[in-house]
């Protein structure tokens, strides 16, 4: 497709999600080429970004997951180079990468989130009191990691202290949220429109890294099995959450239910996984879009 010119598929990078990014990038490159796009893989961990201009790339399809690729850094560099790129801009990516800041924006906008607190590395806390305040069981996450890296649950003061220490290995801030029993949903966004919701089902305690990328018994239900009014409410919530962060192009919003069945926003993913088995392509298929059609549509939404 000559309308796009020469396209760089940004993949790999040097974040903790490098291997996932490589798989996404390989799938996207193949699909774009099959659709007639002049696409080439480009790994910023091995090639200086200045080579994008030197090699004549006209546009970038970004599938760099995690830090560096999903936090506004690569977006700012591409904007400076004058190369249009897929997905959200600097502000939206920086906000979405930080789970603490994301929750603050959603709360300020009146959107539903779980009760939570934040512990900074090097500070002292009474973990027993903290656990009691948040309902007796919690989920602990590094503020700025993806793919469930550094996440763990806790239902005792000792376990909570250990979970916070683990999260602090990945970030200076640990987000502690009240436990949400589920079910868990994810909603892909294309443009500003939500695609059909996917319900996640895992035999693990929560949807961790192994459940996402290695387990064979993780199930994905699309349609999600919701009544139409509930499906539409979930899609509208995801669209509102995406807009609040100034999201654009494409992305994914993760949601869980509390013990009363109410939706609670978890996090936003501005550069979700993009293998043919990933969640965004799954939702697109339910909408009648093939993987090739999806990647071309995402490319069409690219901005400078």
Helix axes 291-300, 18-34, angle to 10 degrees: 100
Tokens in use for 302?
């690219």
pLDDT digits 0-9 by tens, 26-43: 999 999 999 999 999 999
pLDDT digits 0-9 by tens, 3-23: 899 999 999 999 888 999 999
Percentage of the chain beyond pLDDT 90 is 83
Q: Which of 88, 147, 152, 178 is catalytic?
A: 147
Please enumerate in sequence order all residues whose Cβ is within 8 A of that of 232, keeping only pairs 6 or more positions apart, or say none: none
262 is in an annotated binding site: no
pLDDT digits 0-9 by tens, 39-50: 999 999 999 999
Domain map of the chain by residue range?
Answer: 6-86, 95-111+181-300, 116-178
Which top CATH class is 95-111+181-300?
alpha beta
Please state the CATH superfamily assignment of the domain spanning residues 116-178 in this structure.
Answer: ATP-grasp fold, A domain (3.30.1490.20)
Tokens in use for 228?
């139409």
pLDDT digits 0-9 by tens, 128-152: 999 999 999 999 999 886 656 788 9
| DSSP symbols for the chain | -TTT-EEEEE---SSTTHHHHHHHHHHHHHHHHHTT-EEEEE-TTTS-TTHHHHTT--EEEE---STTTSSSHHHHHHHHHT--BSS--HHHHHHHH-HHHHHHHHHHTT--B--EEEEETT----HHHHHHHTTS-EEEEETT--TTTT-EEESSHHHHHHHHHHHHTT-SEEEEEE-----EEEEEEETTEEPPPEEEE-SSSS--HHHHHT-S--EEESS----HHHHHHHHHHHHHHHHHTT--SEEEEEEEE-TTS-EEEEEEESS---STTSHHHHHHHHTT--HHHHHHHHHHT-B-
Active site residue 203: no
Active site residue 17: yes
CA proximity to 45, closest of 69, 24, 70: 69
pLDDT digits 0-9 by tens, 115-129: 999 999 989 899 999
CA proximity to 6, closest of 58, 81, 54: 58
267 is in an annotated binding site: yes
Helix axes 279-286, 291-300, angle to 10 degrees: 100
- Tally the C-alpha atoms within 13 A of residue 241's C-alpha that lie toward its C-beta: 35
pLDDT at 207 over 70: no
Q: Which of 15, 17, 177, 184 is catalytic?
A: 17
Distance between CA atoms of 3 and 114, rounded to whole angstroms? 44
Using an 8 Å Cβ cutoff, are 144 and 151 in contact?
A: no
62 is in an annotated binding site: no
Active site residue 278: yes
pTM for this entry: 0.90
Distance between CA atoms of 264 and 234, rounded to whole angstroms? 10
Q: Do domains 6-86 and 95-111+181-300 have the same CATH topology?
A: no
Using an 8 Å Cβ cutoff, are 86 and 10 in contact?
A: no
Q: What average pLDDT is seen over the chain?
A: 92
pLDDT digits 0-9 by tens, 279-302: 999 999 999 999 999 999 999 998
Q: Which fold has domain 6-86?
A: Rossmann fold (3.40.50)
């Amino acid at each position: 497709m000559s309308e796009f010119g020469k396209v760089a598929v940004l993949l790999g990078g040097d974040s903790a999600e490098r291997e996932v990014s490589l798989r996404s990038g390989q799938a996207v490159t193949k699909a774009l080429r099959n659709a007639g796009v002049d696409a080439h893989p480009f790994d910023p961990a091995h090639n200086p970004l200045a080579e994008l201009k030197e090699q004549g790339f006209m546009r970038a399809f970004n599938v760099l997951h995690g830090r560096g690729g999903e936090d506004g850094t690569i977006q700012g560099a591409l904007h400076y180079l004058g190369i249009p790129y897929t997905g959200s801009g600097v502000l939206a990516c920086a906000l979405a990468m930080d789970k603490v800041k994301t929750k603050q924006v959603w709360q300020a906008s009146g959107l539903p989130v779980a009760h939570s607190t934040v512990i900074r590395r090097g500070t002292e806390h009474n973990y027993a009191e903290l656990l009691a305040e948040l309902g007796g069981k919690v989920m602990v996450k590094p503020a700025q990691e993806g793919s469930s890296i550094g996440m763990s649950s806790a239902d005792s003061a000792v376990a909570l202290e250990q979970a916070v220490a683990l999260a602090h290995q990945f970030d200076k801030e640990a987000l502690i949220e009240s436990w949400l029993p589920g079910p868990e949903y994810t909603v892909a966004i294309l443009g500003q429109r939500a695609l059909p919701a996917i319900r996640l089902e895992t035999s693990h305690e929560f949807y961790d890294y192994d459940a996402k990328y290695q387990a064979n018994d993780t199930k994905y239900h699309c349609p999600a099995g919701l009544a139409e009014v509930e499906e539409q409410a979930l899609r509208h919530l995801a669209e509102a959450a995406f807009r609040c962060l100034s999201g654009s192009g494409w992305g994914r919003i993760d949601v869980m239910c509390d013990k009363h069945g109410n939706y609670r926003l978890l996090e936003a993913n501005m550069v979700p996984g993009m293998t043919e088995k990933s969640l965004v392509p799954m939702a697109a298929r339910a909408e009648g879009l093939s993987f090739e059609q999806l990647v071309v549509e995402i490319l069409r939404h690219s901005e400078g």
